[in-house]
Chain A
Amino acid sequence: DADVTQTPRNRITKTGKRIMLECSQTKGHDRMYWYRQDPGLGLRLIYYSFDVKDINKGEISDGYSVSRQAQAKFSLSLESAIPNQTALYFCATSPPAGGQGRAGELFFGEGSRLTVL
């Protein structure tokens, strides 16, 4: 079984619908992230959480919200989906930062492909 599991893997929805993407992990990491991947734009950070009570906006948080239900679960919601939110979404986890507060390795799920018509 994968250490970082995303559901659903694929979803097609219509403009205006509410969508939730779920992420669960068995790595025991406190840090969890949501990224979106678009062709030619690479990965962009949407939200991140360093523990259950800590939620932070990334560079493209508008139109998204998150919930950290437990250490192992981090959900991404689109309250009213729009076509330009069509993308591949990745959840990732990481252990605490190493020396000098620098980020270490990220562990990614296999992605959730969302299409908004």
Chain B
Amino acid sequence: GDSVTQMEGPVTLSEEACLTINCTYTATGYPSLFWYVQYPGEGLQLLLKATKADDKGSNKGFEATYRKETTSFHLEKGSVQVSDSAVYFCALSWARGGADGLTFGKGTHLIIQP
């Protein structure tokens, strides 16, 4: 079945460091890909998405490019801030039997130190 694998955490970085959180997927067909972010004590919210190969999603300085050849959707940011500390989830869309939804990775906890 469809699945998402993302790097284990926690990932600890200093402020202004470069960030990459790896995400790879297994899916039939051509899913849409998403990054969600969960700040402490809150629900998940969409950070960015890409709906087809070679699309780049971007928001709040974060970027991710849909790479069909490597089945990847890595999250990147050039200079992280303390306020970026959160749990990040990679997700893909699935559709079968007339139903559809999202499958999530296990999440990567990002900690940014001042």
Binding site for B on A (CB under 8 A): 4, 33, 35, 40-43, 45, 48, 50, 56, 58, 90, 92, 97-98, 100-106, 108-111
Q: Could you list which residues of chain B lie within 8 angstroms of chain A, going by C-beta atoms?
A: 30-32, 34, 36, 41-46, 49, 51, 89, 93-95, 98-107
Q: By the criterion CB–CB under 8 Å, are A102 and B89 in contact?
A: no
13 A-B pairs with C-beta separation under 8 A: A35-B104, A40-B106, A42-B89, A43-B44, A48-B99, A92-B43, A98-B32, A101-B100, A103-B32, A105-B49, A106-B102, A110-B42, A111-B43
Contact A106–B44 (Cβ < 8 Å):
yes
Number of A-B contacts (CB under 8 A): 65
6 closest A-B pairs (Cβ-Cβ)? Answer: A108-B43, A42-B106, A103-B93, A43-B104, A101-B95, A103-B100
Provide the main secondary structure of the chain B interface.
Answer: strand
Choose from A41, A42, A56, A102 the contact partner of B32 (Cβ within 8 Å).
A102
B105 & A42 in contact (Cβ 8 Å cutoff): yes
Question: Closest residue of chain A to B32, judged by CB?
Answer: A102
A105: chain B residues within 8 A (beta carbon): 34, 46, 49
User: Nearest chain A CB to B73's CB is how many angstroms away?
Assistant: 15
Tell whether, in the assembled complex, residue A103 and residue B94 are in contact, meaning their CB atoms are under 8 Å apart. yes
Q: Which of A50, A100, A109, A111 makes the CB contact (< 8 A) with B99? A: A50
B102 x A103 contact (CB < 8 A): yes
Q: What residues of chain B lie closer than 8 Å to A58, measured between beta carbons?
A: 101
Alpha-carbon distance between A42 and B97 when the two chains are bound, in angstroms: 25
Give min CB distance, A47 to chain B, whole Å.
11
Complex Cα gap A35–B43 (Å): 11
